[in-house]
């Protein structure tokens, strides 16, 4: 029997909890199989004690994926896969390759489930709806702290200052609560010369343009009163040019006690040739930090803990997290969790993030790969249902299931074009994209203003001032997001990490969110004529007129049936935009 397969540590074998391991096997579609069964048991026992069927989750186009959960009461595991071919041939797969008898196979091993290898995320993330704010552009509260360089409604330039501040955010918390937001993420608010504050000068001071430490405390207090958590942005990969330790290095060279905090090539800092490592390529104002250096590590651990202790913040988002020395993260996670057990830790990583999601670094990351997948299907219409399903299978099985509860799913951010701009102003396509964002596993995150139809191209155009004149809003878009936010915050099925694609065919994508012991949630997307699913009382229904072809529909309903409570009725209450 020919068999082309993949089974990798961490991604295809990881602990779900202290006594359960998730296993996955990928079999190339060029060598199809009918069935996969797993034989498993304690590593120290001579024979396998149990077996279970591995279910086919789906295909990524190249591989069929089979998954299962196995009980590991002793925390030690050996296992092998029994594979049945269409011709009836059976082989056993283990570390040593293929064998034709169970007692001849060399099994795979998971030596021991250690608590540090089990990714645990805060319980509250299951019903979280996040909202990203760029403080200078969101709202100006009283007293006004700076003189703007540009009018509020002007196109932003790279160095524009519009005057938004923390008091302005406090004044708009009721608006956020009405929208359904219960998690606010602020881009950096610490003292820095730029408008974006990613060039930190003083990590222990709130920038005077935004307010004071007391203003931050007030914001957190008032947000908590409304049931809204607050996450701040930590820029630990690099500092600003005026950061005191870097000023000392520039002045004293190798004699500075902070010399090893940075990566300088030579005996002194040359700011003209930029002979030191920076964020991106040669950005002199953002020298890269060395968090493997013990004193630098201690300093930034104190920064992270300071705002938890002083202001009771609920989490951190770490900028350029994939370029920071990895030995920093386990210590940071341990020390922050000791202060606040349910604190949320999110990394900014734009690519495959598995190394940071295995239990000793982050709870989740900013899910840019999912963003591209959703936009290509819902907005660009450059991807059909089959291609989306294959992309989803590949992405979903790339990470431990627990991580999916904490992934920050987004359609736009301060680093991307606005979603409505990508949609060329077509609001219905944006509604469809948000419907997917709110019903796939993870934390849906709305970039400020996307809910009312703000537009903008690449940075800095995506950082325009938030329009507070409701006459300028796309009201249907905001209403759709309000409904979706309510659904995310209240339906038990959307709090978990399980998602299954039930049906894929031309013009139809139908997936299921498992509700555990409660009702399942069904989501059907597609062309109206092809959908073939109606529901008398849907939880959410929205007509999506197409700009290029046949109209589409979004339909969300609950049912105790795995198959989806299909009806012939076409009275689905769709909202036509």
Residues 351, 458, 190, CA angle at the centre, nearest 5°? 75
Dist. CA 345–CA 362, nearest whole Å: 5
> Which sequence positions are flagged as catalytic?
319, 348
* Rounded-to-10 torsion of CA 96, 102, 103, 106: 20
Dist. CA 284–CA 272, nearest whole Å: 8
Closest-CA residue to 165 (of 124, 121, 191, 134): 134
Dist. CA 559–CA 87, nearest whole Å: 39
Closest-CA residue to 122 (of 337, 316, 344, 444): 344
Dist. CA 88–CA 78, nearest whole Å: 26
Are the beta carbons of 66 and 27 closer than 8 angstroms?
Answer: yes
Which tokens sit at 230? 């607050």
What is the DSSP pairing of strand 20-28 with strand 63-71?
Answer: antiparallel
Under DSSP, the state recorded for 563 is: S
Are the beta carbons of 265 and 300 closer than 8 angstroms?
Answer: no
Dist. CA 494–CA 564, nearest whole Å: 16
Dist. CA 209–CA 193, nearest whole Å: 10
């Amino acid at each position: 029997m020919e068999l082309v397969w993949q089974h990798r540590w961490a991604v295809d074998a990881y602990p779900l909890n202290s006594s359960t391991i998730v296993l996955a096997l990928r079999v190339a579609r060029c060598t199809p199989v009918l069935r996969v069964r797993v034989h498993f048991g304690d590593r120290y026992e001579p024979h396998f004690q149990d077996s279970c069927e591995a279910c086919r989750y789906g295909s990524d186009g190249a591989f069929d994926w089979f998954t299962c959960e196995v009980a590991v009461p002793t925390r030690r595991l050996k296992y092998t896969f029994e594979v049945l071919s269409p011709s009836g041939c059976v082989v056993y797969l283990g570390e040593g390759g293929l064998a034709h008898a169970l007692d001849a196979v060399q099994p795979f091993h998971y030596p021991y489930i250690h608590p540090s290898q089990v990714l645990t995320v805060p319980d509250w993330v299951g019903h979280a709806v996040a909202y990203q704010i760029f403080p200078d552009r969101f709202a100006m509260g009283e007293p006004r702290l700076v003189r703007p360089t540009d009018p509020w409604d002007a196109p932003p330039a790279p160095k524009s200052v519009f005057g938004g501040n923390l008091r302005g955010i406090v004044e708009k918390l009721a608006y956020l609560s009405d929208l359904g937001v219960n998690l606010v993420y602020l881009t950096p608010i610490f003292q820095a010369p730029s408008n974006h504050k990613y060039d930190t000068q003083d990590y222990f001071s709130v920038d005077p343009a935004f307010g004071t430490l007391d203003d931050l405390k007030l914001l957190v207090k008032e947000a908590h009163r409304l049931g809204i958590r607050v996450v701040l942005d930590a820029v630990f990969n690099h500092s600003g040019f005026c950061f005191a330790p870097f000023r000392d290095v520039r002045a004293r060279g190798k004699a500075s006690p902070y010399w090893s905090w940075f990566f300088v090539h030579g005996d002194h800092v040359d700011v003209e040739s930029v002979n030191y490592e920076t964020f991106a390529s040669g950005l002199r104002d953002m020298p890269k930090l060395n968090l493997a250096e013990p004193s630098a590590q201690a300093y930034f651990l104190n920064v992270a803990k300071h705002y938890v202790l002083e202001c009771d913040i609920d989490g951190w988002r770490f900028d350029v997290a994939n370029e920071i020395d990895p030995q920093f993260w386990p210590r940071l996670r341990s020390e922050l969790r000791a202060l606040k057990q349910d604190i949320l830790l999110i990394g900014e990583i734009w690519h495959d993030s598995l190394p940071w999601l295995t239990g000793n670094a982050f709870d989740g990351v900013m899910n840019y790969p999912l963003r591209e997948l959703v936009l290509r299907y819902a907005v660009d219409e450059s991807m059909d249902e089959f291609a989306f399903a294959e992309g989803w299978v590949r992405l979903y099985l790339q990470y431990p299931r627990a991580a999916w509860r904490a992934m920050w799913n987004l359609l736009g951010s301060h680093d991307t074009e606005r979603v409505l701009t990508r949609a060329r102003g077509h609001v219905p396509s944006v509604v469809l994209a948000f419907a997917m964002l709110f019903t796939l596993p993870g934390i849906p995150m709305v970039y400020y203003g996307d809910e009312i139809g703000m537009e903008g191209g690449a940075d800095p155009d995506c950082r325009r001032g938030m329009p507070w004149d409701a006459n300028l809003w796309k009201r249907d878009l905001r209403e759709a997001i309000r409904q979706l936010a309510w659904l995310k915050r209240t339906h038990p099925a959307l709090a978990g990490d399980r998602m299954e694609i039930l049906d894929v065919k031309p013009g139809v994508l139908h997936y299921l969110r498992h509700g555990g012991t409660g009702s399942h949630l069904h989501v059907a997307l597609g062309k109206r004529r092809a959908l073939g699913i109606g529901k008398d009382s849907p939880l959410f229904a929205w007509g999506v007129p197409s700009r290029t072809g046949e109209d589409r529909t979004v339909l969300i309903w609950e049912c105790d049936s795995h198959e989806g409570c299909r009806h012939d009725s076409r009275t689905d209450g769709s909202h036509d935009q």
